[in-house]
Structure 1
Amino acid sequence: MKKLTVLLLCALLVLTSCAPSLDDEDEVLQNEEDTEVETSIVPGSRLGEEAYRMILPYRTSEARGIITNQVANRVDIDEMEEGLRRHSVDVFDPEDYYFQEGRYLDESTVISWIDELNPDRPENLTDWDKETNENNPRIFSHILEQNYLLRSGEEDDNTVQVAGISIGIALKSVYRYQLEQGGDYFYYDVSMNEMLAKGYEIAETVVERLRESEDVPDVPILISLYREEAQNSPVPGNYVTKTLVPSGDNTIGNWEDIDEEYILFPSNKARSEYITDYENFNNFGNKIAEFFPNYVGAIGSGFYVDGELQRLTIEVPIEFYGKAEVIGFTQYAYDRVQDIFPNYYDLEINVTSSNNVESLIYRNAKEEQPTIHIYH
């Protein structure tokens, strides 16, 4: 218990020392076409080297919320946004740029483009059989826009304006359809090549239309294609390719492949492609099962880039009957983390009961000691 108390106190000191200082906040002026100049606040601190400062008051997207009607899987929705911001770091340096949700593509525009750029569906579903459906799959799901702002280059000028745009295009890996209203669902697996061909076509059209719009500034546009996972998948899909369209250009040049994926633990794919990580995960579960009879198994998600594990997130569900049991379990899991998992990737373990998250163990890459938090 003394060891745990010391760890919690150390974690509190670290968090206190890293907390953003309100004294470092800065005022900027947002200058947009056909609008009044608006005074905003920029926090002085960032949450990490790859985190963007966000201008306050926070302004939501003009297409806010419609992604939930277009992308079926919650984990895909989260990863599409986070992944696009992660890839934007390579183009729009967080040291200089500020983040803002998309302001140019509103709800009606996004919906109309999705309808227009997908194959038409008959009003009567029975007019299409399986072959016709699978020859005309609706692959294109959503367009996500993010804006990146810079200060004016003039000295002592606090005006900021959009200096970069990132666009994520969501595309299905599985097309679900019906042959009659209320009938059974059928599923068509969309190949990578078929998905990419559709994605390239859509990307060209999106760039052309953005460049034609008088409301959209002539800035670099990052376009990334996102491949969704199946609707019931516990892990998200991933971005598969990206391209940067420089300011002044209205056509796309070369695409750059993205080698990243999320892997479910335990799974056959994890065992066949990442055997060491798979064995470490199983070893962790086996050690816990030896001492805690209420343990029923863990589930994990590993994020890989270029075949290397970057982040492993594990959920450990267990039924507890008292806070002391939570503390004892967390202490034991803490020790097993140090014994089993190497520290070259980020690790997060959430210990949960039927209704709550009971405790958290996390360790950033290259750190020696994990940090513990017990929820009360």
Structure 2
Amino acid sequence: MSERDHLVVRQASKRYGATTVLDRVDLSIRRGELVTLLGPSGCGKTTLLRLIAGLALPDTGSVSIAGRDVTRVPPHKRNVGVVFQNYALFPHLSVAGNVAFGLNVRRRPKAEVRAAVEKALALVHLGHLAERPISALSGGQQQRVALARALAVEPDVLLFDEALSALDRKLREEMQGEMRRMLRDIDATAIFVTHDQDEALTMSDRVAVMNGGRIEQLAEPRLIYERPASLFTLNFVGLSTRIPGTVVSEDNGTVEVDTPVGRLVATGGFIPGSRVIVATRPEHLRPATGDEGNAVNGRVRSIVFQGSRSLVEVGAGGETLLAELPGQEAAHLAPDAEIRLGWPVRETFAFPAPELSTPELAA
């Protein structure tokens, strides 16, 4: 634990019956940092959030906030703000009444509550709607009220449990940028839970990719995408081309791999005979010019227009390659056309091939 660590989870485990939901999770978050817990349903991300909020207790491990061990401290004494997926607003209270709720529960003086409510509503630009009933607000405005209620208690940590998922796509994208700016302006320490990779990459200082009750990788969004530490992270975040093969040689951090599309070179350290998956991202594939480290002959299967770029699916050796090509490069292509694609070795990764049997996922 460093001096800058504000929230620290150490070796936290949680089981429900025979199912391990969290398996010895370690997580350290700095003050003022925005971290997203990203993963599919059942990976343990919401359970980890509940442990931090005090809504569940770990079977083993600890949780500390601002240097204080809160593992057994009840939720209302942790000074943690939570914004839920359904916002959990009280329909019989006004906007101001909802924002004041947590402060009233803490028995703060009326003058202090009034000032805190005004400040929180000003932060979310809803001061002019203080007396309006919740039922008269749009989805985006209700989301702001939920955020203002969490901010009003001046929490040590803000927790967001799928807080934007109820909004339509356009409003969700607008709120992502607005919330990120707002939280940075007040130097908030925040944790987001989401299964939406775009939201995670947009909002976060760092992303924790979770799988089967563990954190697969914790890194800045760009590193999560460009340098995935595992095959699961590669598959879950963004599109990719994945080709199975067998390592034939290894030299100083690169391997040569025999695959159904030919011999490929990738970064990685594996002994000859290892079964691996060779992978790369679609934007690295281009019509080959002869200068690439890897090149494959194939036939165009489909072309999906995406504005300034097109996603081209190419079949080769029974495998599928995905190339994201600029409009001009894709314009002359047609389904069933022959094409040779190339991409650099430095953008080619080798991962251990998954076992035939799949371990049970956490619920």
After TM superposition, the score normalised by the length of structure 2 is 0.26
Q: Does 1 or 2 have the higher relative contact order (CA < 8 Å, sep 6+)?
A: 2
Higher strand share: 2
